[in-house]
Structure 1
Amino acid sequence: MRFVIDGDGSPVKNEVIQLGETYQIPVVIVTSIDHYTNKIYPDFIEFIYVDKGSDSADYRIVKEVEDHDIIITQDYGLASLLLTKPVRVFHHSGQEYTTRTIDTLLNQRFIGSQMRKAGKKTKGPKAFTQKDKEIFIGKMLDIIKSKNNLG
């Protein structure tokens, strides 16, 4: 099991890194070369840099994932591609993407896009809060404990 983060703009990178360190779980962060860093990270963290482009990170993540990985992304399209694999996919809010929910999410995204093209205003995502981070961490801890029988 590894954590794989769709790294461009993820608000939970630091929390996932902390979980990885505490529970000895590798962390892979896939991000655009625009976000290159010289910061030195521990060996359990791997950065994969991809070219600029709206789907470069998504395609690389699909290629890189391994069975039982936990992927964190806010991209519904990427989530839909990953649901055919033996992995678990989560939004940074802690919501797990499933085959039951993904069609609704993709449809909402499409309708919002059509409304914006028609010149209508749509609401953006709500602000990400400390409470949201706590929910996310709780969800990840539940998974880690169940995998390690640490109940």
Structure 2
Amino acid sequence: MRLLIDGDGSPVKNEVITLGAKYHVPVVIVTSVDHYTKKEFPAHVQFIYVDKGSDRADYEIVKEIQAGDLLVTQDYGLASLVLPKSARVFHHNGSEYLKETIDFLLGQRYLGAQMRKAGKRTKGPRPFTKEDRQHFETVFEAAIKEMKTK
């Protein structure tokens, strides 16, 4: 088991890194070279940098992910590609993407894109709060514990 993060813009990297250390699980952060950092990270954290460009990180994650891994992403499309590989996928708000609901989410994403294309305004995400962060951490930690006992 590894913990993977779709790193471009993820607000919960530190929480995942902390949980990885606590449960001795490697963390892999896949991100664009635009987000290259020289910051020191613990030994259990690996970065995979990909070229700039739409969906480059997604393609790398699909290639890299294995059964039993846990992924954090807000990208419904990426989640739909990873779920068939027997990985668990979480949004940073703590919700888990499921095979049974991913088609509905993709449909909603499509409808939102069509509305924006037609010039209509759609709501963006609400601000990420301290409570959201704590909820994610609680849910993700429970998932790690569950996977460790399998």
For the residue of structure 2 that corresponds to 1:49, the secondary structure is strand
Q: How far off its partner does 1:144 sit? A: 2.2
1:68 aligned onto 2:79: no
Per-residue deviation, residues 71-110 of structure 1 (Å, max 9, x unmatched): 0000000000011111101101111101111111111111
The alignment's TM-score, normalised by the length of structure 1, stands at 0.95
Q: How far off its partner does 1:148 sit? A: 3.5
Segments of structure 1 that go 5 or more residues without pairing to the other structure are none
Q: Could you tell me which amino acid in structure 1 is paired with residue 27 of structure 2?
A: V
Equivalent residue runs for 1:12-27 within 5 Å: 12-27=12-27
Equivalent residue runs for 1:36-51 within 5 Å: 36-51=36-51
Q: How far off its partner does 1:66 sit? A: 1.6
CA distance in 1, matches of 2:117, 2:145: 45
Q: Contact conserved, 2:28 with 2:45, CA < 8 A, in 1?
A: yes
CA distance in 1, matches of 2:56, 2:147: 31
CA distance in 2, matches of 1:89, 1:117: 29
For the residue of structure 2 that corresponds to 1:14, the secondary structure is helix
Corresponding pairs, count: 149
Which 4+ residue blocks in structure 1 deviate beyond 6 angstroms?
none
CA distance in 2, matches of 1:66, 1:57: 16
CA distance in 2, matches of 1:36, 1:131: 29
Q: How far off its partner does 1:32 sit? A: 0.3
For the residue of structure 2 that corresponds to 1:124, the secondary structure is coil
Q: For residue 11 of structure 1, what is the aligned residue in structure 2?
A: 11
Q: How far off its partner does 1:143 sit? A: 1.6
CA distance in 1, matches of 2:148, 2:64: 23
Q: Contact conserved, 2:68 with 2:147, CA < 8 A, in 1?
A: no
Q: For residue 132 of structure 1, what is the aligned residue in structure 2?
A: 132
Equivalent residue runs for 1:2-151 within 5 Å: 2-149=2-149
CA distance in 1, matches of 2:126, 2:101: 19
Segments of structure 2 that go 5 or more residues without pairing to the other structure are none
CA distance in 2, matches of 1:122, 1:27: 34
Q: How far off its partner does 1:60 sit? A: 0.1
Q: Percent identity of the aligned residues? A: 62
The alignment's TM-score, normalised by the length of structure 2, stands at 0.96
